[in-house]
Structures are given as C-alpha cells and as structure tokens.
C-alpha cells in the first residue's frame, strides 16, 4: 500500500448525509459475529434451567391444547378431517416464528444500547442474528410437529402430504423477513418515541386474531362477510393459511394472495432496512 499518498484514505467518517448506505462487504466480514450472536441467543436461554431446550416445545404444545379446547371443542370450529390439535399446532408454530422475530428485533436498539454505545459493528447483524436464532427454535418446534403428525397418522387420521410442501422454506422465509422488516421499523422508531413499545405488546396479540391462526380463512368469510376483508388484506393470514395447505393439505392456496404477500413482505423489508439504516448512525444520541 502506498501510504505516502495522502489521498489514499481507507475510509472516511462523515455526518449521516447519504440516503441509504449498506456495506455488504462489511457485513460479510462480521459473519463470525453473526453466528456467535446466534449461538449466544440459543444457549443462554436454557442455561441454568432444568428443562433446557424443552421450553421451546412446552409453549406451543400448551397453546395448541388450549386452542383445541376453546376454539374447537367449545366454540366448535371445524377443521375437516384434520385433527384440530395438529391444525392449531401448525398455525401456532408459524405464527410464533413471526412474533418471535418481531418482538426480538423490535427492541434491537434499546436492549443493545450499552453495546452499541461502545463499539462499532454493522448494526444489522443484531436483528439478523435474532431472525436466524428464531429459525433454529422454529426448527425444533417443527420437529415436534412432525412427531405429532406421524403419531396421528399411525392412529388412523386422514393425513396426506401436498407436493407444494417443497415451497415451505420459502413461505417461512416470508414470515421471517416480514417480522424482521416490521421489527426494524419499530426498533428505529422506538429509539425516539417509546410509545410504540406499549403498542406492540397488545398489538401483536390482536393481530393474531385476524391472521387466521386458529380458524380456516374460509370460515371468516363465511361467518363475517362484512369484516372478512380485514383477514383477506392481511399478508400474515395468507402465509398461515398456505402453510396449513402445504403441511396438512387443508384449506386453499391463492397464488394472487401469495403474490400480494410477497410484494408486501419485500416492501416492508426494504422500508425497514432504510429506516434502520438511517437510525443506526444517530440513535446513540437519542436512545
């Protein structure tokens, strides 16, 4: 390197005046940090617990049981030939991945303020690590789903695979990206206006009811024709409905709906990335 040349600067620290700057080369350089963050997220959760990683399974199982009792047995929602428990488990599993990504990434700046205030690394690493570590948790939950699937199959339930299951990973990545995008947006805004924090807690809960988690999408159109559009315009509902179609061969698949979901997902993701990118340079002064 010709260091004598005074114009030969390696990099420059300047005010945040660029509209968008994302240094992919730099993110790639920090890939080890990404993996270490993932490892940290996974192992610290079950350190000093008796049940360890089993906790990842207990929550969806008990939620599924509760849903089955309340929505299927008490309220009488029909799931066709599919055992209601499996129906609920499938929906909850996918829904959980979304909420885990959203909740995890939405306080990126606030919960990492002490690290961000002391050391520089591409901030995007943190929300990315959350999405990846949640994917691993999702994998564990998917394992228990397969276990019950086989169990129900051998007990004579009418289950059949759908060839579209090959696209299931893409569907899950939609869920992850949507959670990441929304989370990044919220995390950026929370740095300045903490009000949003209060909104997320119950907002996510309400969102579940319009995302076709515990009922088939058809049902809401049939029973509440006036408000069916709320579910129909919710991209999350399509992902959940489609994932049940892929896994359990139940419900419908709508190419148009999926296209709509894909467009919304990518838009949300890029807007989130943009807002996040703008915030990461100045947030330490406002948080």
Partner 1 sequence: MKDIILKAENISKQYRLGEVGTGTLKHDLNRWWYKIRGKENPYLKIGETNDRSTKGTSDYVWALQDINFEVERGEVLGIIGKNGAGKSTLLKILSKVTAPTIGSIKCKGRIASLLEVGTGFNGEMTGRENIFLNGAILGMTKKEITSKLDEIIEFSGCERYIDTPVKRYSSGMTVRLAFAVAAFLEPEILVIDEVLAVGDAEFQKKAIGKMKDISNQEGRTILFVSHDLSAISTLASRTLILANGKIIANEETNKAISIYSSMETSSSIFIQEPLLNVPSVTKVEVVTSEGGILHANGKALKIKFEINMPYENYENLAFSFQIINHLQVPILYDYIFDINTRIGRQKGANYLEFTYPNLALYKGNYSIVVHLAETKTKTKFQEFKCCLFEVEMIGMKEPEWGWQKNVCQYLDKGNWEIL
Output the CA angle 94-95-100, nearest 5 degrees. Answer: 100
User: Helix, strand or coil for residue 181?
Assistant: helix
> Least distance from C-beta 287 to partner 1, angstroms?
9
Nearer to partner 1, 37 or 98 (CB): 37
- Asked if 282 touches partner 1 (CB under 8 A), the answer is yes
- Residue 31, classified by CB atoms within 10 Å of its CB into exposed (0-12), middle (13-18) or buried (19+), is exposed
The stretch near partner 1 (CB under 8 A) out of 75-83, 100-108, 114-122, 231-239 is 114-122
> Do 187 and 127 contact (CB within 8 A), yes or no?
yes
The stretch near partner 1 (CB under 8 A) out of 68-76, 90-98, 112-120, 150-158 is 112-120
- Asked if 19 touches partner 1 (CB under 8 A), the answer is no
- Please give the structure tokens belonging to residue 114: 């002490």
Write down how long the chain is. 287
Nearer to partner 1, 118 or 226 (CB): 118
- Asked if 21 touches partner 1 (CB under 8 A), the answer is no
The stretch near partner 1 (CB under 8 A) out of 29-37, 130-138, 170-178, 241-249 is 29-37
The stretch near partner 1 (CB under 8 A) out of 39-47, 56-64, 74-82, 154-162 is 39-47
Rounded to an integer, what distance in angstroms lies between the CA atom of residue 37 and that of residue 87? 33
| Residues 40-69 close enough to bind partner 1 by CB under 8 A | 40, 43-44, 47-48
> Least distance from C-beta 277 to partner 1, angstroms?
12
| Residues 138-177 close enough to bind partner 1 by CB under 8 A | none
User: Which strand (E) or helix (H) includes residue 160?
Assistant: none
DSSP state of 164: G
> Do 175 and 102 contact (CB within 8 A), yes or no?
no
- Asked if 281 touches partner 1 (CB under 8 A), the answer is yes
> Least distance from C-beta 12 to partner 1, angstroms?
5
Determine which residue in the list 23, 58, 70, 117 makes contact with partner 1, applying CB under 8 A: 117
> Least distance from C-beta 128 to partner 1, angstroms?
14
> Do 235 and 261 contact (CB within 8 A), yes or no?
yes
Determine which residue in the list 33, 208, 262, 274 makes contact with partner 1, applying CB under 8 A: 33
Rounded to an integer, what distance in angstroms lies between the CA atom of residue 93 and that of residue 142? 7
The stretch near partner 1 (CB under 8 A) out of 64-72, 115-123, 162-170, 216-224 is 115-123
Rounded to whole angstroms, what are the CA distances from 213 to 233, 239, 241, 249? 15, 10, 8, 16
Rounded to an integer, what distance in angstroms lies between the CA atom of residue 43 and that of residue 3? 45
Q: What is the largest CA-CA distance in the chain?
A: 80
Return the number of other C-beta atoms located less than 10 Å from residue 7's C-beta: 4
- Which residues in this chain contact partner 1 in the complex, by CB under 8 A? 3-4, 6, 8-16, 29-30, 32-33, 35-37, 39-40, 43-44, 47-48, 114-121, 192-193, 281-282, 284-286
């Amino acid at each position: 390197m010709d260091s004598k040349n005074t114009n030969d600067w390696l990099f420059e620290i300047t005010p945040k005046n660029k509209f968008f700057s994302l240094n992919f080369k730099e993110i790639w350089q920090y890939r080890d940090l990404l993996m270490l963050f993932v490892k940290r997220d996974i192992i610290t959760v079950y350190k000093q617990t008796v049940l360890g990683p089993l906790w990842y399974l207990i929550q969806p199982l008990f939620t599924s049981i509760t849903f089955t009792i309340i929505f299927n047995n008490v309220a009488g929602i029909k799931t066709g030939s599919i055992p209601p428990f499996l129906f609920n488990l499938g929906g909850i599993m996918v829904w959980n991945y979304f909420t885990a990504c959203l909740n995890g990434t939405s306080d990126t700046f606030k919960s990492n303020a002490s690290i961000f205030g002391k050391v520089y690394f591409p901030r995007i690493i943190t929300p990315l690590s959350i999405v990846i570590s949640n994917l691993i948790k999702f994998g564990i939950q998917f394992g228990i789903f397969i276990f019950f699937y086989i169990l129900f199959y051998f007990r004579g339930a009418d289950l059949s695979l759908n060839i579209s299951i090959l696209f299931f990973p893409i569907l899950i990545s939609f869920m992850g990206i949507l959670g990441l995008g929304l989370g990044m947006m919220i995390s950026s805004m929370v740095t300045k206006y903490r009000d949003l924090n209060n909104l997320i807690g119950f907002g996510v809960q309400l969102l579940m009811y319009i995302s076709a988690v515990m009922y088939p999408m058809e049902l809401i159109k049939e029973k509440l024709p006036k408000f069916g559009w709320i579910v129909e315009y919710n991209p999350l509902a399509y992902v959940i409905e489609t994932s049940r179609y892929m896994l359990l061969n139940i419900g419908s698949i709508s190419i148009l709906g999926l296209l709509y979901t894909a467009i919304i997902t990518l838009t949300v993701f890029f807007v989130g990335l943009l807002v996040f990118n703008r915030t990461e340079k100045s947030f330490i002064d406002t948080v």
